[in-house]
Amino acid sequence: MLAFSFKFGKIYIAFLCICCAISIAGCRQEKKAKKQNQEKSKAIKEWNKTIPGNFSAEQNRFLDSMEIDSFINKYPLFQPYAAAIREFYGGRNLAYAWYADNRLIEQAGNLADRVKNLKNEGISQETPYRNILDSLLYAKATGTPDVKLELMLTANYFVFAKLAWEGMDPSISKSSQWYLPRKKLSYAAYLDSLISAPEKASKTAAPVYRQYDLLKQHLSHYRQLQKEDPIWTPIARTTKSYKPGDSAAPIAAIKKRLFKLGDFKGDTLSYIYDEALETATKSFQSRHGLPGDGLIGKGTLDEMNVPLTKRIRQILVNMERSRWLPVHMDSTYLGVNIPEFKLHVYHSDSLLWSCNVVVGQSIHRTVIFSGDMRYVVFSPYWNVPESIVRNEIMPAMKRNRGYINSHQMEITGYRDGIPVVRQKPGPQNSLGLVKFLFPNSYNIYLHDSPAKSLFNESSRAFSHGCIRVSEPFKLAAFLLQDYDNWDEQKIKNSMDRGVEQYVTLKHKIPVFIAYFTAFTDRKNLLNFRKDIYNRDDTLAKMLIED
């Protein structure tokens, strides 16, 4: 779905110009803005349908393999894509792709438009030899097929696929401590599949994780906001916080800001904190991971005052992360988004349910990786990691001789002069009443916790790296729902028995632990979260330099 039709490109530009003219003040302007945003969203969706391209099945014009070699030698910046170009034409028996009846197909212009507007994809660089592509298109819009233009179009397709869909080199993601497996996809095979079934091309989604296109829509909106309000003047407080019924000059400024951000619907000129503002404030707080109390205090106002430049960088960084993930999953899987402090349970990319989690502190970061859930362990022992024994338990033992017994622990041996400690099953156990194992080299797993109050905190980075689950019973019941004799009562009894019991899952459940500080929820609302591990800036700098 690579190339854009000229028709949809014109529609998109028209809608964008209309949206720029919308006034943000007053009820009438708000209704007009809503209508235009809906139309703009529709236009973008139509535009995106042309991404795959409806390539020609032209069979009366053929390339010579030597012409491909000559082209790559003449334009060496395409060398990284040489194998993909050869694979693509090899699958077509060297037949031309961009011509039909000796004329360029419409998708040639669509591709050129998409390449020219890489900024819309969150890409700051240009494709190689773009001026040559433009010149060739201008000179050869009609007439006999031109081999240089044919190959220039194909090469640009693969450049676009690399930049917009595949993303930066895997070495970059690893340097960002992103150990989730990168997406693997043959873009030549992808093109070939579209060519073999052109009637399906307009319905085929781009080969990229769904968050990418959703974030791209919001990127357009935030860039437009920045154009209209480049200063984004911070709103100052005149009191500790604002609550429903209050009246103050900054309240009108808050209403205008929330209107621009899409949360507020109402009179932006009033100084009164009314019901509409309370609804908008709670929406804004929810989207930013703040307590949804409706009070506009320092934390909420600080988030409103975050510069648009920073928000745009957040969107760009998370669009890049979206390029790395598998396009979709056809099975049940679990996903943890560390900055969101949430566990999500999916089936075939449909969200089934979610719950709060506690993740690692900044000095004990939860690792970004994936694994396969294999075991549910009821009434578990906690084998205390050596680092915790050395840094926490041994100093506590020196202060208090009864520390081990009082914490329901036992020493099972010694290793290099350091005691091997485990905590007995029971309500005091740091793992709670059940744990969920997906074996990995990082010694990270999901588990219950006796510290229930921490799940009510808005920021939940308290652990030593493992992930504490607020609804462990529900997760255990979900994983064992198709297992004979594992009804809810048996699960509860096993959690309370105080005797460790392993249950091996019949089918492995994939677990993805990811890191997204900007994402869209199931209502297509843009969410931001704090960069708790300071990972965004490094990746943003690499994106800009690249």
What band does 52 get if pLDDT is binned at 50, 70 and 90? very low
pLDDT (tens digit per residue) in 258-298: 999 999 999 999 999 999 999 999 999 999 999 999 999 99
pLDDT value at 29 more than 60 = no
Label residue 98 by pLDDT band (50, 70, 90). Answer: confident
Q: In this model, does residue 110 exceed pLDDT 90?
A: no
Rama region for 539: left / alpha / beta (φ>0; ψ in -120 to 50; rest)? alpha
Q: What is the pLDDT of residues 184-241, one digit of tens each?
A: 888 887 766 665 555 555 555 678 899 999 999 999 999 999 999 999 999 999 999 9
Average pLDDT of the chain to the nearest whole number? 88
User: Which residue among 328, 447, 464, 507 is the active-site one?
Assistant: 447
The CA distance from 331 to 328, in Å, is 9
High-pLDDT (> 90) share of the chain, %: 76
Between 20-24, 81-85, 521-525, the lowest mean confidence (pLDDT) is in 20-24
Q: Which residue has the higher pLDDT, 191 or 375?
A: 375
Distance, in Å, from the CA atom of 395 to the CA atom of 397, rounded to the nearest integer, reads 5
* pLDDT tens-digit readout, 141-192: 556 789 999 999 999 999 999 999 999 999 999 999 999 999 988 888 776 6
For tokens 């920045």, name the residue. 226
Q: How far apart are the C-alpha atoms of 316 and 326, rounded to whole Å?
A: 18
Contact 129, 63 (CB under 8 A): no
407 is annotated as an active-site residue: no
Tell me the C-alpha distance between 19 and 14, whole Å.
9
Dist CA 65 CA 59 (whole Å): 16
Partners of 463 in beta bridges: 360
Q: Tell me the average pLDDT across 25-43.
A: 50
- The first and second tokens of residue 33, run together, are 């803005």
Rounded Cα distance between 141 and 130, Å, is 16
The CB density around residue 490, as the number of other CB atoms within 10 Å, is 13
SS3 per-residue string spanning 240-286: CCECCCCECHHHHHHHHHHHHCCCCCCCCCCCECCHHHHHHHHHHHH
pLDDT band at residue 57, thresholds of 50, 70 and 90?
A: low
The span from the CA of 210 to the CA of 327, in Å, is 7
The CB-based long-range contact list for 350-353 (8 Å cut-off, 24+ gap) reads 351/522, 352/478, 353/474
Which pLDDT does position 546 carry in this prediction? 59
Residue 205 has what pLDDT?
A: 67
Q: Is the pLDDT of residue 23 over 50?
A: no
Domains of the chain: 6-207 (no CATH), 233-306 (1.10.101.10), 328-536 (2.40.440.10)
Q: What residue type is assigned to position 497 of the chain? A: R
- Give the three-class secondary structure for 440: coil
Q: Residue 100 above 90 pLDDT?
A: no
Whole-Å CA distances, 506 to 248, 345, 485, 497 = 61, 18, 14, 23
Per-residue pLDDT tens digits for 423-475: 999 999 999 999 999 999 999 999 999 999 999 999 999 999 999 999 999 99
Predicted pLDDT at 141: 54
Angle at 202 between CA 196 and CA 207, to 5 degrees: 80
Question: Which amino acid type is present at position 400?
Answer: N
Listed in sequence order, the residues at least 6 apart from 168 whose beta carbon sits closer than 8 Å to its beta carbon are 320, 323, 542, 543, 546
Provide the pairing of β-strand 418-423 with 342-347. unpaired
Task: Give the tens place of pLDDT for each residue, 478-501.
Answer: 999 999 889 999 999 999 999 999
Give the per-residue pLDDT at 185.
Answer: 85
Left (φ > 0), alpha (ψ -120 to 50) or beta: where does 84 sit? alpha
User: Cβ(447)–Cβ(435) under 8 Å?
Assistant: yes
Residue 463: name the closest of 439, 475, 445 by CA. Answer: 445
- Under the banding of pLDDT at 50, 70 and 90, the label for residue 256 is very high
| Dist. CA 208–CA 401, nearest whole Å | 57
Contacts (Cβ under 8 Å, ≥6 apart) of 99 = 56, 58, 61, 105, 145, 150
Known catalytic residue: 447? yes
How many angstroms separate the CA atoms of 407 and 400, rounded?
11
pLDDT band at 352 (very low <50, low <70, confident <90, very high): very high
pLDDT at residue 42, rounded to an integer: 54
pLDDT of residue 7: 38
Radius of gyration of the chain (CA): 28
Is the pLDDT at 16 greater than 70, yes or no?
Answer: no
SS3 per residue for 182-214: CCCCCHHHHHHHHHHCHHHHHHCCCCCCCHHHH
pLDDT at 188: 81
Euclidean distance between CA atoms 502 and 121, whole angstroms: 47
pLDDT in the model for residue 200: 55
Task: Decide if pLDDT at 33 tops 80.
Answer: no
Which letter does DSSP use for residue 60 in this model? S
Of 20, 464, 466, 507, catalytic? 466
What pLDDT, on the 0 to 100 scale, is given for residue 206? 76
